[in-house]
Structure 1
Amino acid sequence: MKALKALIPACTLALTGCGAAEAGKTDTPVTLPQVQACFVSNNEGHAVTVEVATESEDRKTGLMGRRDLAENAGMVFEYQEQRPARYGFWMYKTLIPLDIAFLDESGVIVSIRHMLPCTSSRASDCPIYPAGKPFRSAVEMNAGYFKAHGIDEGDRFIWPLESACPP
């Protein structure tokens, strides 16, 4: 029982501000500011457009309710401080499968997870996809994006882009 009591605060912390949602939130997508960005893998650039979620409420809502996402589009979640490895994201009220890259403070990808939509109406039934390593920000893209472009751990994400993405 003590172990269970210890898990409850940890699970609560894992969901706070990490793509978690309140049960009563609307499914209406909110468009956030967009910036041009670039994944760099093996000295090859992959230009993308990402919505930027820097406020707690925007991070909680994330891509909930979206029925689709443009091919080279995604959402970046920025935090003011590094997040512990046990923190992660969930897919409550998210309708499309996504891949997520967790980034360190330099924009280096420290882990990538594949996330499936959670069809449960109960948030507590949705799995959490932990980063597995400390992270400062995260980028969600369509499922399969990273594999299709050869993007992996150790590659970089540059945003906002101040010049052209490397060819």
Structure 2
Amino acid sequence: MNYRVLFILISALPFCSLAQQWNVPEPQEFDKTEVCLGELEQPLTVELADNQQQQARGLMQRESLGEYNGMWFRYGNERPGYSGFWMYQTLIPLDIAYLDRQGRIVKTFTMRPCGSDDPTQCRSYSPGKNYWSVLEVNGGFFAEHDIRMGDQLRKAEGESCEQKYGKE
């Protein structure tokens, strides 16, 4: 085989893969759970993105998200810090928190929708630190509720997230 033809074929492979990724993933069904975040007393209702199809779809094409609603992307292993999220086909601003194995926030961003039809033109939000899961909520939620680095995400126990230990 001619080396020039082989080079062209090999060079085209990444573009074929990208073209497949440009298709918006099919809508998914998500299980839900209640979680607590930092010092918030109100639990969050989060949809669980546990498999690759759910994670690929995420909050794409949603026109709104309830005030105390979000999505929790859970991975079975540690993700590298250069692996980030983007806002392709996402219509609403989102706050994102990258979480360590214990559910502590290691990095946050407020992400803006990307209006481009070309996903390569959408900014990637990479934490620069390894992470195990990701929480997405409405843009501005973290600032409004004083959520910051080191705050922890944990499963809710009951209807309130008020921590009883350490209080009299």
Normalising to structure 1: TM-score of the pair? 0.80
Task: Give the counterpart of 2:62 among 60, 66, 76.
Answer: 66
CA RMSD of aligned residues (A): 2.0
Alignment check: 8 A CA contact 1:103 1:136 kept: yes
Aligned to 1:162: 157
Task: Give the counterpart of 1:52 among 48, 62, 67.
Answer: 48
1:76 to partner: Cα distance? 0.3
Can you give the 5+ residue segments of structure 2 that lack an aligned partner in the other structure? 1-13, 15-19, 164-168
Query: C-alpha offsets along residues 77-120 of structure 1, whole Å, 9 cap, x if unaligned?
Result: 01111111111100000000000000000010111011000000
- 2:27 and 2:93 mapped to 1: Cα distance? 16
Letter in 1 for 2:38: V
Mapping 1:121-160, distance limit 5 Å:
121-159=117-155
Q: Which has the higher strand share?
A: 1
Alignment check: 8 A CA contact 1:29 1:65 kept: no
Mapping 1:69-148, distance limit 5 Å:
69-148=65-144
Query: C-alpha offsets along residues 52-97 of structure 1, whole Å, 9 cap, x if unaligned?
Result: 0000110011000000000100000011111111111000000000
- 1:30 and 1:65 mapped to 2: Cα distance? 12
Larger radius of gyration: 2
Q: Secondary structure at the match of 1:162?
A: coil
- 1:150 and 1:29 mapped to 2: Cα distance? 32
1:40 to partner: Cα distance? 1.9
1:29 to partner: Cα distance? 4.7
- 2:137 and 2:31 mapped to 1: Cα distance? 16
Letter in 2 for 1:24: N
Can you give the 5+ residue segments of structure 1 that lack an aligned partner in the other structure? 1-11, 13-20
Q: How many residues align?
A: 145
Query: Quick one: structure 1 residues 76 and 146, their matched pair in 2 at CA, closer, same or farther if it must change by over 3 Å?
Result: same
- 1:50 and 1:132 mapped to 2: Cα distance? 25
Letter in 2 for 1:35: T
- 2:69 and 2:76 mapped to 1: Cα distance? 23
Q: Name segments (4+ residues, structure 1) moved above 2 Å.
A: 28-31, 161-164
Normalising to structure 2: TM-score of the pair? 0.80
Aligned to 1:32: 30
Aligned to 1:6: none
Query: C-alpha offsets along residues 111-158 of structure 1, whole Å, 9 cap, x if unaligned?
Result: 101100000001111110001211000000000101111110010011
